[in-house]
Structure 1
Amino acid sequence: MNLEDLKNRNISERDYINIQDNSSLETPWQEFKQVFKRSIKGELFTGLKITFIMMKEALFNKQMHTVQYPAEKLPIGPRYRAVHKLLALLESGENRCIGCGLCEKICISDCIRMDTRIDENSRKEVLEYTINFGRCIFCGYCAEVCPELAIVHGGRYENAGEQRAHFVVKDDLLTPLDKLAQQQEYEGFGAVSPDADEKIKKTPLEY
């Protein structure tokens, strides 16, 4: 092929080969012959064979290939970014959040609100912490920037509600005090990586 033929954009002059003739069937007899030929080839029975095999495994061998949601749920990955969780300190039961406001500042969807005050010990105390899940895009920036690992992404992804006010409840994010002893160091999105100690730059104690 020379350069002129390569530059030719007129496709009607080229010789194309029709692999399959898609001519429409004109009479009912032609349609019947086409269906009969395809049935003789066994394509229909091959599909039915696969269907009956799967049905037999489900009915008699109890090998279901579907999940009966919501009674059954598939496991999700440990780094899945679902509904947030606010972790507490195991020793005192206090919330890990120190009220620095980094999560509120870095939130690109502007859905985090925080209200703080200075307590009697001259420490910042978090009074209100709300996340509007109607606007949250679950990007994970808040969990990445948190210096105290106070906010992480949990595994609860069912956050539907009838009212918008249901999306900003703080109590759903906090760890209940009666279940505080069962809280383990979170391994989900926003947690410390296993090789975090090796990544930390060692500095002398005296300068």
Structure 2
Amino acid sequence: MNNEHFNEQFNDRNVTGDYYLVDIEDYPTDGWAKFKRVVKRTLRGELFVGLGVVLREMIKFNTHTVKYPLEKMPIGPRYRAVHQMKRLWESDTERCIGCGLCEKICISNCIRIDTKLDENSRKEVTEYSINLGRCIFCGYCAEVCPELAITHGGEYENASDQREHFTMYQDMLTPLDQMKAGKQVEFEGFGAITPHEDERVKKTPLAY
């Protein structure tokens, strides 16, 4: 099939065979004709049907309105919101080892991490910040972390009056009082603790 034969169906401009004209009244031009059109549409009942739907929804007692911020919609455990830094469940120390993989894989270039060597020649995180103004919450930083140190929490209220809205390491880290109370949220999968683990695991003498 050559191109000329293929384009014959597009070269035919006669479209009267497949279309039909819709009977539409002429638009009114003077004031009296416009008034008659309003009266006709009103008496037809279309206006009262819409008002009836509104009144029916207003008098319903099972309203679906959420009284925000006193009430919030439930969020799934895998929702990617503001980041959280986890602690070791056994010794309450930080899980982050300062490898820098989260900073390298961040496609929006919003993670900054600085490390140093402590007195035991172990890497220690000195500064860790995430620019939430640039973050697109893709979750790559949480997926690449070998220690499951960084995850996404359910805190999605990150509005700020500054364009550069940074979140520091201490703000994301689980507080010690919540950690001791067992309130740190763990995720199912690799590295997550199993139920009733506190009855089976004994603390080691080493602080890591």
| TM-score bracket for this pair, using the shorter chain length | 0.7 to 0.9
Instruction: Please state if 1:52 is matched with 2:49.
Output: no
Alpha-carbon distance in 1 for matches of 2:159, 2:169: 16
Partner of 2:139: 140
- The verdict on how the C-alpha distance between 1:152 and 1:34 changes in structure 2, with shifts beyond 3 A counting, is same
Partner of 2:32: 29
- The verdict on how the C-alpha distance between 1:100 and 1:193 changes in structure 2, with shifts beyond 3 A counting, is closer
Contact 1:159 1:167 in 2 (8 A): no
Write out per-residue CA displacement over residues 59-97 of structure 1, whole angstroms, 9 at most, x where no aligned residue: xx3x22322222221112222111000000122111111
What's the offset of the Cα at 1:30? 2.1
Contact 1:161 1:167 in 2 (8 A): no
The count of corresponding residues between Structure 1 and Structure 2 is 185
Q: Which of 12, 16, 38 pairs up with 1:14?
A: 16
Aligned-residue CA RMSD (Å): 2.5
Partner of 1:73: 72
Structure 1 gap segments, 5+ residues each = 195-207
Secondary structure at the aligned position of 1:172 is classed as: helix
**Structure 1 stretch 24-33 or stretch 74-83: which is displaced more?**
24-33
- The verdict on how the C-alpha distance between 1:107 and 1:94 changes in structure 2, with shifts beyond 3 A counting, is same
Partner of 1:186: 186
Partner of 1:204: none
What's the offset of the Cα at 1:33? 2.3
Amino acid in the other structure paired with 2:166: F
- The verdict on how the C-alpha distance between 1:17 and 1:142 changes in structure 2, with shifts beyond 3 A counting, is same
Write out per-residue CA displacement over residues 108-139 of structure 1, whole angstroms, 9 at most, x where no aligned residue: 11111111122233322112111111211111
Alpha-carbon distance in 1 for matches of 2:58, 2:70: 21
Alpha-carbon distance in 2 for matches of 1:166, 1:151: 19
Alpha-carbon distance in 2 for matches of 1:45, 1:164: 48
- The verdict on how the C-alpha distance between 1:34 and 1:193 changes in structure 2, with shifts beyond 3 A counting, is farther
Alpha-carbon distance in 2 for matches of 1:147, 1:51: 54
The two structures have a TM-score, normalised by structure 2, of 0.78
What's the offset of the Cα at 1:20? 4.9
What's the offset of the Cα at 1:149? 0.7
Alpha-carbon distance in 1 for matches of 2:108, 2:163: 16
Partner of 1:198: none
Structure 2 gap segments, 5+ residues each = 192-208
Alpha-carbon distance in 1 for matches of 2:77, 2:26: 54
**Percent identity of the aligned residues?**
55
Q: Which of 25, 37, 42 pairs up with 1:39?
A: 42
The two structures have a TM-score, normalised by structure 1, of 0.78
